[in-house]
Amino acid sequence: MAAPPGRAGLRQFPRPRPQDGCRPPRKRSAGGEAPKMAWWCWARAAGPRAHRLTVLLEPRRGFRRARPRTEEPTPATAEPPAAEARPAPPRRSLCPPPPARAGRPPARRLVRPLLFAVGFTGTAFGAAAIWQYEALKARVQTYFEGARADWLDRIRPQKRGDFRKQVNSWWNNLTEGQRTVTGIIAANVFVFCLWRLPGMRRIMFTYFTSDPSSRALCSPMLLSTFSHFSLFHMAANMYVLWSFSSSIVSLLGCEQFIAVYLSAGVVSTFVSYVAKMATGKFEPSLGASGAIMTVLAAVCTKMPEAKLAIIFLPMFTFTAGSALKAIIAFDTAGLALGWRFFDHAAHLGGALFGMWYVTYGHELIWKNREPLVKAWHEMRTKNTGKGGGRPN
């Protein structure tokens, strides 16, 4: 076999087999990632001892262009497959964007909220009964002290332009219901300001928004009643509460109204929990709308012929009974059709609770408070007697 040109003195041998000690040609991989290579074995006589051969391996490179190799992630750096996420719900302007929730909670998570709603409602009405007893007792004891204070105010020279006098005059001109809801409005404004603090966002999401898939279940049922993320939402709710405050307090009294309002917030949130668990739509809810719907429904049920009007359209009037029917129909349609701008389940639960309380609940709960008040009176009398004071 003739030697290749330019390689004088070298002999070309056939391609060696694997058993001869030379490396076999590299196989072409599927897809052609590497260029084709072949190995040639050359032998040259080394000096006078022609039987000793020096084996030279020389690669032969082809001209086929290799395909670009795509680096596959190693197991250490490979990202885990993302879990199948639920489609993001449409953002509501009245509520902050919800945090990410994973999975659907079991139905047994409703047991604790149910027990909390029942226990809190009983505690609220019991505390209201004791509060009313103490208020009546203090009112009788301070009757003469109040008369003496009025006499001193009449003979004391009045200061003109006194800011304290103006505040007292404004406060005294308010009705009992308006003075009662002033504290509720102040609490709502305070919580609204907390939403504006970036460092409080995690706490506000956990305890001031109600969601059955959240870590906290019971405390948000009450705290979310005083929570508003939108200024318009808070202003609208507080305006309705202020408008109906005089009527509801004249019907129930200050102490009973507070018990009904707080209980309505908890009960309406529980109804919202049940609806979210049934539909699988877990979104945070907040606002006093559920409790305010209880106030509105109670007033409209007791005074169905009262005339109502819309703030921006005072020329259109309608009866309270018609307004209540329209509101219930609207929230029922929203719950059935899956509207997600408002928490229609909480609104509907609050309205039904208000209608039930003024129809049956007042007779069932408030008029049966006498045993509790009697037990409290006996305990107070006994403790006062042991202290050496005058029995009441």
Which residues are known catalytic residues? 289, 347
Assess contact for 245 and 177: CB atoms under 8 A: yes
Residue type at position 39: W
| CA angle centred on 28, ends 27 and 32, rounded to 5° | 165
Q: Write phi, then psi, for 287 (nearest 5 degrees).
A: 125, 160
Residue 27 burial (C-beta neighbours within 10 Å; 0-12, 13-18, 19+): exposed
Angle at 320 between CA 316 and CA 321, to 5 degrees: 120
DSSP state string for 178-212: HHHHHHHHHHHHHHHHHHT-GGGHHHHHHHSSB-T
48 neighbors 61 (Cβ within 8 angstroms): no
Query: Pick from 314, 319, 317: which is nearest to 299 by CA?
Result: 319
Helix, strand, or coil here: 57? strand
How far, in Å, CA of 61 to CA of 64, rounded?
Answer: 9
Tokens found for residue 146: 């109040």
Please tell me the distance from the alpha carbon of residue 107 to that of residue 1, in angstroms, as a whole number: 88
User: Tokens 């020389």 label which residue?
Assistant: 58
Q: Considering only CA atoms, which of 265, 286, 285, 287 is closest in space to residue 354?
A: 265
Q: Which position has the token pair 């877990």?
A: 282
